[in-house]
Structure 1
Amino acid sequence: MAAFLYLVYTIATLGLAIWGISLFQQSHRISEILLIVVLSGMIYDNLIVSVGHIINEGTLLKLLNRLRFLFHNLFVPFLVVIAINLAYIAGVTWASNPIVYKGCWAIAIGLITLGLVTDFRQLELIPTTFAGTLRYKPKSCRVPTLTILTILLVAVVGFYIWCQTQWLWMFMGTLIMLVGNIYFAKECFWAPSRFSS
């Protein structure tokens, strides 16, 4: 059942990526390019999880899952740049400051470096099954620092967008993601036998 849901997520995210391409053709904004990059990582992630039981446990699936974590580390921090661009479009005053724009790029690159050095470089994977899916997860539990820091930054920007435009969904979405990541971190450290990534 879960494998089917991940396939649905893959198709839905592919649809969003195609929509993002059409938006880029109209506006030529860098935020749309970055959004397509992030969505491509999500498409890959969901696809590999959905077909893991077909590929079966072994070197190939382990490599494909290792790429999942690499793409996560490389792409997720770009959400900070995307958020700042959205804030600029929404009319948030400080988001139009060139220093803020350059700073968000510096933060994104810093988060990518942090993730590669602290998480990906030492990554050891073991197979795990969850609700009919087969994937590889980290052997040792770590707090998802990169993801949590990224979500917190995007949540702050989302709050300002909410104040400016009354559009609260970006802020609420990041809060839900934050709760989810804290929950999985709690499960990892307090009940490792139940943790699945």
Structure 2
Amino acid sequence: MAAFLYPVYTIATLGLAIWGISLFQQSHRISEILLIVVLSGMIYDNFIVSVGHVINEGTLLKLLNRLRFLFHNLFVPLLVVIAINLAYIAGVTWASNPIVYKGCWAIAIGLITLGLVTDFRQLELIPTTFAGTLRYKPKSCRVPILKILTILLVAVVVFYIWCQTQWLWMFMGTLIMLVGNILPKSVFGSLVGSAVDYVFILAMLTTELIMPN
């Protein structure tokens, strides 16, 4: 099943990236550029898992998978900046404060640094198969602290967007992403995580679409 779903995820996420590029051409918002960056990491992640069984176990596949985790650490914290930009566009008063904007960039950079120092630098990968796919995963399974911290910060901002605009779907997308990422991967694999990530980004792009230019 996973061998079928990951190529579907790859194509679907590529579709979101194309949609994001189209939105950027119309509004030229930095949030859309950052969303495209995040989506590029998601496309790479799903694609490498999709072709793992074709490449086969070895140094090349291990390197390609190591890049998956590098992009994860570099790109996921950018969601904090995207959320603040959306709050500003939605008219959330405190989001227009320059100190808040600079602070969210500082938080994102801090989360990136934390992920690189605590996770990526010490990352040991081992090959694993799951439902017809082959990829490398961390030798020691840990709770995705970096991603959960990011989602919690985003959830706070998105709550204010919801209060300001009454647009519920982005807040719901954030909750779905949070629940999906705390489910044990030993049971569900990464299929659920990829699916909820897609739902979350879809909710963000939908919010971008209805925001005033």
Deviation at 1:111, TM superposition (A): 0.3
Distance 2:120 2:170 in 1: 28
Cα separation, 1, equivalents of 2:101 and 2:58: 43
Shift of 1:59: 0.8
The structural deviation recorded for 1:101 is: 0.6
Per-residue CA deviation, residues 139-193 of structure 1 (Å, 9 max, x unaligned), is 0122211101000011111111111111122221221222222xxxxxxxxxxxx
**Residues 158, 168 of structure 1: 8 Å contact kept:** no
Uncovered stretches (5+) of structure 1, i.e. residues with no partner: 182-196
Runs of 4+ off more than 2 Å: none
Identity level (%):
96
The structure with higher relative contact order (CA 8 Å, sep 6+) is: 2
Separation (CA, whole Å) in 2 of partners of 1:83 and 1:165: 14
Alpha-carbon deviations, 1:88-110, whole Å to 9, x = none?
11111111111111111000000
Matches within 5 A, 1:64-83: 64-83=64-83
Q: Which moved more, 1:41-50 or 1:87-96?
A: 87-96
In structure 1, how many angstroms separate the alpha carbons of the residues matched to 2:3 and 2:168? 31
- Residues 18-53 of structure 1 show CA distances to partners (whole Å, capped at 9, x for unaligned) of 111121122221111101100000000000111111
Q: Counterpart of 2:134 in 1: which secondary structure?
A: strand
Deviations 1:119-140 (A, max 9, x none): 0000000011111111111001
Query: Is the CA contact 1:126–1:136 (under 8 Å) kept in the aligned structure 2?
Result: yes
Secondary structure of 1:123 counterpart = coil
TM-score (norm 2): 0.83
Normalised by the length of structure 1, the TM-score is 0.89
Q: Following the alignment from structure 2 to structure 1, what is the Cα–Cα distance between the partners of residues 11 and 95?
A: 33
SS at match of 1:105: helix
* Aligned position for 1:41: 41
Asked if the contact 1:88/1:96 (under 8 Å) is kept, the reply is yes
Distance in 2 (alpha carbons) for counterparts of 1:109 and 1:178: 21
Q: Aligned residue pairs: how many? A: 182
Question: 8 Å contact 1:34–1:82 — kept in the other structure?
Answer: yes
CA distance in 1 between partners of 2:170 and 2:65 (Å): 28
Q: Is the 8 A contact 1:155 1:170 kept in 2?
A: no
SS of equivalent residue, structure 2 residue 136: strand
8 Å contact from structure 1 (residues 84, 104) kept in 2: yes
Give ranges in structure 2 of 5+ residues lacking alignment.
182-212
